[in-house]
């Protein structure tokens, strides 16, 4: 009979050993913990503003929205040439038209190429741009990038030549974009996959396996102590900043509900560094009512190429992502065996405003809500991450009077 019981116990253990856990880590897994995703997460797509919100107007555009620019000419056969230039970039005598050259040549390096690779135009719709001009070209459609329209004197030029070939005229539109900085966030699993955005079913993970358990007792009577280190969990979040120029300063709220909170630590890295285990590739966040960063997120930067605030780098049109990791350390005092716990992560930030000495203090450059075009704060960019409990092991009715004292036994 004892042999049968032993065989059954070994069979059950073998079944459990061969079972794949559906959560982020396997039952019984030991250190080292998954401190970084195993693969670089996919960057998020920015959420567009609601229709009719934050669209401003043609002279104060929001990034990515198509605007039509129209001039009236004497005749449909008049030739209209459209182009965009930063007036600050023009060489002496800083003129669009000169006696010596005439209108600024289409090959001038200061003219935005309108292919998405320049500083100002995100994309061009209908209309002929910066060619030799075209008849019946009185309308052009442009979607702009975000740029500093105060410091940069960006103008859209309409240069007109009469059909008779001997007369000309010129008009310009000064373009000053409306700040439209946005943030999108999602939690991801340990593989950097399964992005869960606000409102979606949260990602979840099993509470960490016990890291160590040591018993200290002596004498001939019970009364020792089982000291248990309950390990740690790591959660990962993707944050996309879009519609900014140069850089932005992140801040976060990180809270835990569902029992005694673990000790929390957090840091962020550029997307390209998300799988790096090198400590210096991650930027530590300082805890408080909000978690703050000593360093801003700089467009097209990385740990190896950190960039410089104020260099004016134009980010990718679809925004650029960072990864935030949060460490939850249960220590020896939090058993976490009663119910699910919830880590709540919220993001906010302010885009570079182009004016020193503090480049990130203008409320007009705050993260905006997609529905209202007003400062969002931590209201909508918020996601949960669920930590499931470990199994209970308590005194049973009819058993001994008390299990030996265990650290963390009364917590959660």
pLDDT digits (tens, 9 = 90+) for 158-173: 999 998 888 999 999 9
Cis peptide before 32 (omega within 30 of 0): yes
* Whether residue 1 has pLDDT greater than 70: no
What are the strands of the beta sheet with 134-135, ordered from one edge?
A: 134-135, 79-86, 154-161, 168-174
Residue 355 vs residue 34, higher pLDDT: 34
pLDDT digits (tens, 9 = 90+) for 34-55: 999 999 999 999 998 888 888 7
Predicted local distance difference test score (pLDDT) of residue 64: 75
pLDDT digits (tens, 9 = 90+) for 162-216: 988 889 999 999 999 988 899 999 999 999 999 999 999 999 999 999 999 999 9
Q: Which of 389, 392, 388, 387 is nearest to 409 (CA)?
A: 392
Please state, in angstroms and rounded to a whole number, the distance separating the CA atoms of residues 126 and 55. Answer: 19
* Whether residue 298 has pLDDT greater than 80: yes
What dihedral angle (degrees, nearest 10) is formed by the CA atoms of 277, 278, 282, 283? 150
Judged by average pLDDT, the poorest of 95-104, 215-224, 258-267, 386-395 is 215-224
Cα distances (Å, whole numbers) of residue 404 to 182, 229, 330: 54, 16, 21
Please state, in angstroms and rounded to a whole number, the distance separating the CA atoms of residues 45 and 67. Answer: 22
Predicted local distance difference test score (pLDDT) of residue 13: 36
Q: Vertex 166, ends 160 and 167: CA angle to 5°? A: 40
Q: Which residue has the tokens 């935005």?
A: 112
pLDDT digits (tens, 9 = 90+) for 233-290: 999 999 999 988 899 999 999 999 988 999 999 999 999 999 999 999 999 999 999 9
Residue 78 contacts residue 230 (beta carbons within 8 Å): no
Is pTM beyond 0.85? Reply is: no
* Whether residue 356 has pLDDT greater than 50: yes
Domain boundaries, the chain: 22-48+181-406, 66-174
* Whether residue 341 has pLDDT greater than 90: yes
Band the pLDDT of 99: cuts 50, 70, 90.
confident
Beta bridge partners of 250: 349
Strand-strand pairing, 102-103 and 154-161: unpaired
- The rounded Cα 380 to chain-centroid distance in angstroms is 14
Percentage of the chain beyond pLDDT 90 is 65
* Whether residue 25 has pLDDT greater than 70: no
Whole-number mean pLDDT of the chain? 88
The SS3 assignment for 273 reads helix
The SS3 assignment for 272 reads helix
Cis peptide before 266 (omega within 30 of 0): no
């Amino acid at each position: 009979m004892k042999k049968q019981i032993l065989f059954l116990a070994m069979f059950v253990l073998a079944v459990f050993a061969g079972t794949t856990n559906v959560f982020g880590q396997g039952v019984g897994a030991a250190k080292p913990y998954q401190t970084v995703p195993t693969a670089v997460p996919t960057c998020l797509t920015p959420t567009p503003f609601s229709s009719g919100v934050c669209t401003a107007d043609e002279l104060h555009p929001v990034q990515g929205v198509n605007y039509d620019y129209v001039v009236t000419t004497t005749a449909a056969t008049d030739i209209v040439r459209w182009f965009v230039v930063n007036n600050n970039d023009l060489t002496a005598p800083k003129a669009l038209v000169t006696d010596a050259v005439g209108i600024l040549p289409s090959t001038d390096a200061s003219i935005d190429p309108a292919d998405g690779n320049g500083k100002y135009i995100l994309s061009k719709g209908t209309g002929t741009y910066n060619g030799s001009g075209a008849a019946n070209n009185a309308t052009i459609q442009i979607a702009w990038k975000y740029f500093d329209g105060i410091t940069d004197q960006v103008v859209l030029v309409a240069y007109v030549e009469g059909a008779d070939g001997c007369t000309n005229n010129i008009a310009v539109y000064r373009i000053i974009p409306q700040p439209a900085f946005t943030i999108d966030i999602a939690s991801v699993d340990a593989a950097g996959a399964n992005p869960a955005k606000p409102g979606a079913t949260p990602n979840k993970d099993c509470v960490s396996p016990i890291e160590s358990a040591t018993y200290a007792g002596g004498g001939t009577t019970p009364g020792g102590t089982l000291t248990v280190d309950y390990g740690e969990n790591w959660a990962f979040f993707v944050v996309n900043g879009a519609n900014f120029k140069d850089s932005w300063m992140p801040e976060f709220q990180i809270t835990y509900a569902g029992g005694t909170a673990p000790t929390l630590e957090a840091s962020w890295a550029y997307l390209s560094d998300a799988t790096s285990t090198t400590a210096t590739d991650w930027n530590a966040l300082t805890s408080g009512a909000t978690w703050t960063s000593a360093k801003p997120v700089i467009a097209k930067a990385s740990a190896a190429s950190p960039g410089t605030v104020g260099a004016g780098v134009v980010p990718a049109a679809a925004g650029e992502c960072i990864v935030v990791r949060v460490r939850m350390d249960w220590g020896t005092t939090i058993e976490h065996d009663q119910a699910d716990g919830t880590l709540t992560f919220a993001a906010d930030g302010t885009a570079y405003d182009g004016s020193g000495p503090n480049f990130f203090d203008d409320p007009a450059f705050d993260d905006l809500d997609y529905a209202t075009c007003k400062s969002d704060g931590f209201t909508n960019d918020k996601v949960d991450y669920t930590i499931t409990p470990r199994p209970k092991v308590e005194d049973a009715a009819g058993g001994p009077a008390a299990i030996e004292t265990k650290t963390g036994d009364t917590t959660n």
